[in-house]
Amino acid sequence: MARAEWIRAIAMFEPSAAPRSRPGDWLGVLRRDPRRAVDEEQIVCLICGARFRQLTNTHPRGHALWALEYKRRFGYNRGRPLMCRALCRLYAERAVRSGLASRIRSRPIVADPDLRRRGGMRPVTLEELLTRRDARRGAGRGGS
């Protein structure tokens, strides 16, 4: 996607560019910044507003989407788990205890040097753009 297209896409999600949200428009606020839909104990479906600990393929299928399509539509990174932070931590701790990493046979990025050379060639999602923007703003405040 060209830089001008990204700028237009970011402008759509800028809170200042959107009309002032009414108290009942919380779903619109979450859609502008999908990171806010993932909380410590729950994740909010950005289509219907239902709250879950984990969004499996079953719920997005009710909206005629797969999990990957859901992530693409709302700007999540492809690798982001659609689950609350507490559940994500629980699964990570369980994987460490069971030694899951030692059972993974190969890492393509390590095995194929050509993949390392193409490192920055992936599309950047809305979630990543918002995170980078917040980091730049935070660095600007800290340095002043």
Q: What are 19-62's pLDDT values in tens digits?
A: 444 545 888 899 999 999 999 999 999 999 999 999 998 999 99
Q: 67 and 57 in contact (C-beta within 8 Å)?
A: yes
Residue 123 identity (one-letter amino acid)? P
Domain boundaries in the chain?
A: 3-135
Distance (Å, whole) CA 46 – CA 31: 6
Joined tokens for residue 89: 């931590």
Q: What are 7-20's pLDDT values in tens digits?
A: 555 454 444 433 44
Q: Is the pTM of this model over 0.75?
A: no
